[in-house]
Amino acid sequence: MDCRDREGWAIVSRQRAFDVTPCFEEGILLSSLLAALLLISLVRSLTLAIVGARRVSSPIPVLASYFLEPIAILASIFLTYFNHTCKRRSSATLLLFWPLFACAVGVWIRTRVSIGLDFYFPILVAKAIVCGLGLLSFLLECVGPEYGVESQLGEKMMQESPILTANIFSIWAFSWMTPLMKKGVKQYISEQDLPALVPSDESRHLSDDLEKALSKHALWKALFIAYGRPYAEAAGLKVLQDLLAFSQPQFLRLLLAYISVYQTSRFNSFNRPSELEGFAIAAVMFVASIVQTICLNQYFQRTFETGMRVRAGLVSVIYKKALVLSNDERGRASGDIVNLMSVDATRLQDLCTYGLIAISGPLQITIAFVSLYSLLGWAAFVGVAIMVFSIPLNTQIARILKRMQEQQMKNRDKRTRLMSELLANIKSIKLYAWENSFLRRILEVRNEQELKMLKKIGIVTAGNTALWTGIPLLVAFASFATAATVSSRPLTSDIIFPAISLFMLLQFPLAMFAQVTSNIIEAAVSVKRLNNFLNATELQVDAVDRIPASNIQEGEEVLSIKGGEFSWEKDNVQSTLEDINLTVKKGQLVGVLGRVGAGKTSLLSAIIGDMNRREGSVYIKGTVAYAPQNPWIMSATIRENILFSHEYDETFYNLVIEACALGPDLALLPNGDMTEVGEKGIGGQRARLSLARTVYSRADLVLLDDSLAAVDSHVARHVFDNVIGPHGILASKARVLVTNSITFVRQFDSMIFLRRGIVLESGSYQELIANEESEISKLIRGHGTSGGSSGTSTPVRTSGTLTPGGGEELHEVDDKSSIIITEKLRQQASISRPRLVQPTLGQLTIGKGLSTEHQERGRVNTEVYKHYIKAASVTGFAFFLLTVITQQAASVMSTFALRYWGEHNREQGNNEGMMFYLVIYGLFSLSSCLLGGVSSVLMWVFCALRSTKRLHDMMLDALMKAPLSFFELTPTGRILNLFSRDVYVTDQILGRVIQNFCRTSAVCLFILVVIGGSFPPFLVAIIPLGWFYMRVMKYYLATSRELKRLDAVSRSPIFAWFSESLAGLSTIRAFHQQSIFIQHNQYRIDRNQICYLPSISVNRWLAVRLEFVGALIILCVSCLAVTALITSGVDAGLVGLVLSYGLNTTSSLNWLVRSASEVEQNIVSVERILHQAEIKPEAPHELPESKPTAEWPSEGVVEFRDYSTRYRPELDLILKNISVKSKPCEKIGVCGRTGAGKSSLLLALFRIVEPSNGTILIDDVDITEIGLHDLRSSISIVPQTPDLFEGTLRDNIDPLNAYTDHEIWTALDQAYLKGYVESLPEQLDSPVREGGSSLSSGQRQLLCFARALLRKTRVLVLDEATSAVDLDTDHAIQEIIRGPAFDKVTIFTIAHRLNTIMTSDRVLVMDAGEVAEFDSPENLLKDKNSKFYSLASEAGLVAETVDQ
C-alpha cells in the first residue's frame, strides 16, 4: 500500500497548522476502523449464523481504504441482520464503530477541504451519505433487538435482569438502573420491584464452581479459579484508569504551556499556535476523563460483583460442610460457625472490593514519580527516598494491627458464643433469676476484652492515618526545597500546580494502601479460619449402608446391625456402644430400655449415621424417619413442620393430626395449622409435632426417642394406640422406640436392654418376663405393681382388656377411636410414600418468622443521629469538628503559600528568597497533618467508642429485661445478627464513615471558597451544578437507603436458617433431606443477592453521573479560558489554580454524596439497636421499697386469690378465677388434659405471665408487689426441658458461685450424680459442651435436680421433671422428693404421668383454665364421676389403687 501524497506517511502535517496528513487519515485512521469493522462483522456474522454468539478478537489487516470501505460496510449489514435475529442485545461493535467512523470522516473532510477538493467531491458526498446512513443505523441499534417484544416471563415472581438486554452504553452509564431510581423517588421500593439475578449469579452455580475448584486447590487459589476472570478484567480496567488519571496533570501542563506561548506571541500571527489547539487539548481532557469514569466504574462493579459471588459461594459451602461435620467437630459452638458466615465470608467480600489497590497502588506511585521527575528533575527522588523509608514503618504498624484484629476476632467469637447460649437457655435464666450472672459474663468479655482492644486499635489506626496524610506533604516539601536549592530553573506556577495535582493524586493510593494492607491481613486470618473449618473431619460416609427400596414386603429386614461398635469421637479409646446386634423387620416394634446414660439415644444416633462405626455393619433398607428426644421445631407454620418438605395429602394429613392428638391443640390456635411456631416451639405439643412429622413421612424405618415422655398419660395412650402400637398408623412399618416407661412393653415385638453401651438382654416380652433373673423382668415386676411406675399400667392387663371398676366407657371410647383410624387406614390400604417437594424461590415468604423483622422506611430519623452523638459526647464531637475544619484551613493556607512563591519566582526569574515561603509552607503542612491525627483520636476514642459501649449495653439491658414471650416470637438468628453484625458496624465502621463524611464536607467547602475567591465567574456554574447534584442526590438517597435496608433485612433469614439448621442436624440427616435444606439456604442467599446487587449498582449509577458533570465543568472552564485567551488574554497562574482545584471538585463532591449515604446506610444499625432497646420490659427485677425479708418464704404457703391471666392482651384468658391455697410444706400434684392450664399455673407463680386480675400470695406476701429477682430466687423449679450451657459442671450447678464445693457434692449425692461426676477426670471442673450435649438427657435432668437441692427454697415446682429418666432413677427421685431433703418444702408437681402424684397430699385437677377438683387423691378416686378418676383409669392406675 503506497502513499501518493507528497507529504508521505508522516502523522502531523508540515504544511497546515494543527492538522494530520491525508495518507495517515486514509491509510491508518479510516482503514484501521474499516478493517476492524470488516473483520469483526464477518467473524461475528458467521458465528451468529452458525452457533449464535461468542466474543471474538481480531488482528487488523491493512488494506487500501477505498476497497476496504464498501466491503466493510456490506459486512456490517450482515452483522446488523444476524445480531437482530440471534441476540437480545445490540451489537457493541456497531454502536462503537459508527460514532468513531463519523469523527474520523470529520477529520478527513476538514483536511480535504483545507487542501482543496478537486476530484474528491463525489467521494466526499458518498462518505457523507455513508456517515448519515451509519448514524441512522446507530440510532436504530441503540433501540435494540428487543424493542416492542413482549416479555416472556409468564408466572415468574421477579422481573428478569435488565442487564441481559442492556446495550454497551447502558452498561457503561448504568442506565439500566434508571427505571428503578425513578420508582424509588415516587414510592418505597420493595423486594418485588427488584429484578432477578443473572442465571450465572445464582448461588447454586456459584457454590458448584467453588466446590469444583476446592476439590483440587486450597481456598485462596480455589476462590481465584472460581470467580477470578471478571476480577482479572477489573485489574486491567484499573490499570487503564490509573494511566488516564495521571495523564490529567500532563494535559493541564500542556494547556498552561499553550496559554503561556499564546500569550507571549499574541500579536505575532506567524509564530502564534493554532487557535484550535487549545480547544483540542480541552476536548482531549474531556474525553480522557469520560473514559476514566467508565473504566473506574466498570472496575468497581466487577470487584463488588466478585465480592458478592465469593460471599455467596462461601456461605453455601460452609452450610454444606456444617451438614456433614463429624461429632469430633461439633465442639465448635454454633455461634462460631455463624461467625464464619457473617464475619469471615464478609471480610473476604470486602477484600475483593478493594484488594486490587494492592496492584494499582504501586503502579500509581510509580507513574506519579515518573511524572514528577519530568517536572522537578532529580529533586523528585528525595521524595522517593522518604517513601522508601516509610514502607517498613507501615508494615510494622500493619503487623501490630493484625495481631490486634486477630485478638479482637477471638473476643467477638467469645461474646457471640455467650450470647447464643444466653438465648438458648433464656427460659431457665429467667426462672432461676440468673440474669445478672450472665450479664456479668457477657459484659466482662465486652468491656474488659473487646472495648479495651478496640481503644488500642483506634489509637493505632489514628496514628497510621496521620502518618499517611503526612507523608505526601513531607514528600512535596522535601522535593520543592531540593528543587529550589539545586535547580537554576525558577519554580513557577506551571511546575508547582501540576506537581501539587500529582501529590494530591498520590495521597489516595498511599492512604488506601494502608487500609488494603489491613484488609489483606484480616482476610488472611479469615481464610485460615475457613480453611480450618472446611478441612474439619466429616461424618463417616459409610457408617450406614442405605439401600434404596420402594416395595418392602411384610417381615423383610429393614434394619440390621451386626457386631456394631460405635463411638462419638474418632480418637476415643473407649467405644460408646459395643457388640450391638439388632435386626428390625417390617411391621415389627422394638423397644429399647436402659438406665440414664446407658446409650439408648446413642443407639439411634448410630442407626442414622451420626456416630463413628468402628466395627461391624449397619444396613438400612428404604427411608428413615426420626423423632429426637428434644424435639426440633423449625420457625415455620405447624403444617410446614409436619409436612417437612413432603407433598401435601389432605386425607392422610388429617389422619396424622387426629392420631397424634393435635386436633384440640390446633383448634386453640388463631390460624390453626397455619400458625407459625418459633424455633423454641409450643410447650408439650413439640413432642407430638415432631412425632407427627415422623408419621407423615411414611418412612420404612421409624426411630422414636422417648416420644411419649413429655405428654400426659391419657394422650400417651391415645398416641400409642393410634400411631405406634399394633393397630396404629405405623403398624406396617419397622419401629424402634426408646423408652423409660414400661406402660406398653406388652405390645413390643421384641426388646433390648442396654447397660453402659452393651446389649445386656434382648428378646420378646414373653421370653424376658419368663426369666425372673433378667433385668427387664425385675424392672417390670419392681415397678409394675407399685405406684411408682413411671408410665403406668399394670402388667396384669393387656392393652385391649378393660380395667375392673368404672373405666369401661373410657376405654371403649379410646378403642373406638383407634378402630376408626384403623378403618380409615384400610381404605388407604397401602400408604404410599410421599414425594419430596423441591423448594422454589417463590415459596420463600418475605420476612418469615413469628414477628416480621422491624424495618424502618424513608429517611433515617434525625433523632437517631442525636441519640448516637448524645451517647458519644457532644463536647467530644464539637472538638472533633473543630479539628477537622482547622486541618483543612491549614492545608489551603499551605497551597496559597506555594502560589505566592511561584508568582515571586516568576517575577524574580530565579529561586531567591525561598526560605521565607518554605518555612510558612512547612508549618502549615505540619499543623494540617497533626490536626488530622488529633481528629482521628477524638473520633475513635472519645466519640465512637463511648457511643458503641452505651448502645450495646442499652440493647443488652433491654434484652435481659424483655419478657419471655419476646424470645418465643423472635428467631434467635435475628437477635444474634443484631449483636454480631450491627454491633460490629457501630464498633468499627460507623466511626470511620462519620469521620470521612466530616472530612470530605470540609474539603468541598474549602475548594468552593478557593475557586470562588480566585475566579468569581465560576460561581455562576455552581447554581446549575448545585441543582443537578441535589436532584441526583435525591434520586440516589431515596433508592439506595431502601435498597440497603432490604439488603440488611434479607440477610438475617440466612443466619436464622443457618442457626436453626445447626440445631436440627441429626433430624435433617436422618430424614436424608440435606439437599432440600441446602436448596432452601441457596434461595435465601439468592434473595439477599437480589437485594444486594442493585444496592451496589446504585452507587455506580451515581458516580457515572457526577463524574460526567465534573468532566463537563473541566471542559467549560478550559474552553472559557481558551476563549478568554483568544479574545482578551488571561493569566496562566490563575487558570492553573482554578483547574487544579477544578480537577478535585468532581471527586470531592462525589465522595461527599457517597460518604453522606454511607453514614445513612450504616446509621441504620444504630436505628435497629435503638428499636431493639425499646422492647417493652417485664416488671422491675428489684423493688427496694418492698423487699421481702431474708427468711421469706419461711412456711411455703402459696395462695392463688381469684387469679386470671392471659398470654398477650389480644388473646383469651388461659387461667380463669383460680382460688387455691396450700398448707405449709404440702405436696400438691397438678394434672389435667393437654391445654388445661397446668404449665400456665407454673408460669403464673414465677410471674412469667402477669395477672389480668386477682393475685398470688406466698406466706401472705403479694408476689406482684415485689421485684422479680426477689421472687424467682426465693422459689425453685426443675423444668421439663433441662437447659445447660457451655462451661464447667460447677458453673452449671451454681452459676452465681454462691455455694461451697461441699454443698455441691452433697446435692450431687442426693441427685444420684456423685458417682458419675467422680468418674470424670476433672470432676466438678469437667467441661460441659454447648447445650449440655456432652451429657445424656437423663443426666441433664438430674443436674437440674441438683440445682433445686442446692437452693433449699421453701417452694419447689417440678414440671414433669422425670420425663427423661429411666424407671430406677425415677423411683429414686420420687424417694428424694418424699424424703427428708424436701420435708419442709411445699412442692407443686405438674404431672403428665399420674403415678408421680399418686402419693401427693392433695391433687389439683385443671380443666380449660379453671380448677375442676382439689382434694386428696384418695377422696377423688372414691368419686367415680370425678375427672381425676377418669384420668387415673385411662392411665391404668385405678385397679391397683382399689386393690391397695
Query: In terms of Cα–Cα distance, which of 131, 130, 129, 109 is closest to 120?
Result: 109
Asked whether the CA dihedral 604, 610, 614, 618 is positive or negative, the reply is positive
> What HEC string does 1106-1121 produce?
HHHHHHHHHHHHHHHH
User: pLDDT-derived band of residue 1039, with 50, 70 and 90 as boundaries?
Assistant: confident
**What cell does 368 get?**
506519579
Following DSSP, what letter does each residue of 966-996 receive, concatenated? HHHHS-HHHHHHIIIIIHHIIIIIHHHHHHH
Question: Each residue of 1352-1384: pLDDT tens digit?
Answer: 788 888 877 666 666 777 777 777 777 777 788
Dihedral, CA of residue 1007, residue 1010, residue 1011 and residue 1016, to nearest 10? 140
User: pLDDT-derived band of residue 687, with 50, 70 and 90 as boundaries?
Assistant: confident
Q: Exposed (0-12), middle (13-18) or buried (19+): which is 1189, by Cβ within 10 Å?
A: exposed
Position 99 scores a pLDDT of: 83
Q: How far is CA 141 from the centre of its chain?
A: 43
Rounded-to-integer distance, Cα 382 and Cα 1299, Å: 71
Position 789 scores a pLDDT of: 34
Position 1015 scores a pLDDT of: 64
Cα separations in angstroms, 1326 against 574, 1295, 1392:
18, 15, 33
C-beta separation of 1424 from 806 below 8 A? yes
β-pair type (612-621, 545-547): parallel
C-beta separation of 1362 from 1330 below 8 A? no
Half-sphere exposure of 101 (CA within 13 A, CB side): 30
Angle at 960 between CA 954 and CA 961, to 5 degrees: 90
Question: Each residue of 255-268: pLDDT tens digit?
Answer: 888 887 787 777 77
β-pair type (557-567, 577-585): antiparallel
- β-partners of residue 1406 are 1411
Write the Ramachandran bin of 1008: left for phi over 0, alpha for psi from -120 to 50, otherwise beta.
alpha
Query: In terms of Cα–Cα distance, which of 90, 92, 105 is closest to 40?
Result: 92
Query: Quick one: what percent of the chain has pLDDT higher than 70?
Result: 88
Rounded-to-integer distance, Cα 485 and Cα 172, Å: 48
Rounded-to-integer distance, Cα 359 and Cα 364, Å: 9
Rounded-to-integer distance, Cα 986 and Cα 946, Å: 10
Q: Exposed (0-12), middle (13-18) or buried (19+): which is 438, by Cβ within 10 Å?
A: buried
Most confident of 39-53, 110-124, 1078-1092, 1137-1151: 1078-1092
User: pLDDT-derived band of residue 793, with 50, 70 and 90 as boundaries?
Assistant: very low
Q: Within 539-637, where are the H helices?
A: 600-608
**What cell does 1267 get?**
421485684
Asked whether the CA dihedral 80, 84, 90, 91 is positive or negative, the reply is negative
User: pLDDT-derived band of residue 858, with 50, 70 and 90 as boundaries?
Assistant: low
Least confident of 657-671, 1214-1228, 1357-1371: 1357-1371
C-beta separation of 498 from 252 below 8 A? yes
C-beta separation of 361 from 394 below 8 A? no
- Indicate the length of the chain as a whole number: 1444
- β-partners of residue 628 are none
Rounded-to-integer distance, Cα 1093 and Cα 298, Å: 14
> What HEC string does 889-917 produce?
HHHHHHHHHHHHHHHHHHHHCCCCCHHHH
830 pLDDT above the threshold of 50: no
Sheet holding 1402-1407, edge to edge: 1276-1278, 1355-1359, 1386-1390, 1227-1231, 1402-1407, 1410-1415
Most confident of 473-482, 1075-1084, 1266-1275: 1075-1084
1221 pLDDT above the threshold of 50: yes
Q: What is the DSSP letter of 837?
A: P
- β-partners of residue 1235 are none
- β-partners of residue 612 are 567
C-beta separation of 301 from 231 below 8 A? no
Rounded-to-integer distance, Cα 1159 and Cα 217, Å: 39
Question: Each residue of 689-701: pLDDT tens digit?
Answer: 888 899 888 888 8
Rounded-to-integer distance, Cα 1304 and Cα 1008, Å: 74
Position 152 scores a pLDDT of: 44
Question: How would you label 17-55 residue by residue, b for 16+ Cβ within 10 Å and e otherwise?
Answer: eebbbbbbbbbbbbbbbbbbbbbbbbbbbebbeeeeeee
Rounded-to-integer distance, Cα 1420 and Cα 1413, Å: 8
Position 784 scores a pLDDT of: 57
Rounded-to-integer distance, Cα 1011 and Cα 893, Å: 14
Residue 716's identity, in one-letter code, is: A
Q: What is residue 579's three-state secondary structure?
A: strand
Rounded-to-integer distance, Cα 1249 and Cα 1240, Å: 8
Question: Each residue of 992-1035: pLDDT tens digit?
Answer: 888 888 988 888 888 778 777 766 766 777 788 778 888 888 88
Average pLDDT rounded to a whole number, residues 491-511: 72
Q: For the chain, how far is it from start to end, CA to CA, in angstroms?
A: 123
Query: In terms of Cα–Cα distance, which of 502, 582, 525 is closest to 346?
Result: 525
Question: Each residue of 124-177: pLDDT tens digit?
Answer: 788 788 888 888 887 877 776 665 554 444 334 457 778 878 888 888 888 888
Average pLDDT rounded to a whole number, residues 1329-1354: 78
Angle at 589 between CA 585 and CA 594, to 5 degrees: 115
Average pLDDT rounded to a whole number, residues 931-946: 86
Non-local CB neighbours of 1249 within 8 Å, separated by 6+ positions: 1205, 1206, 1207, 1214, 1240, 1243
Q: What is the mean pLDDT of the chain?
A: 79
Residue recorded with cell 420435708: 1383
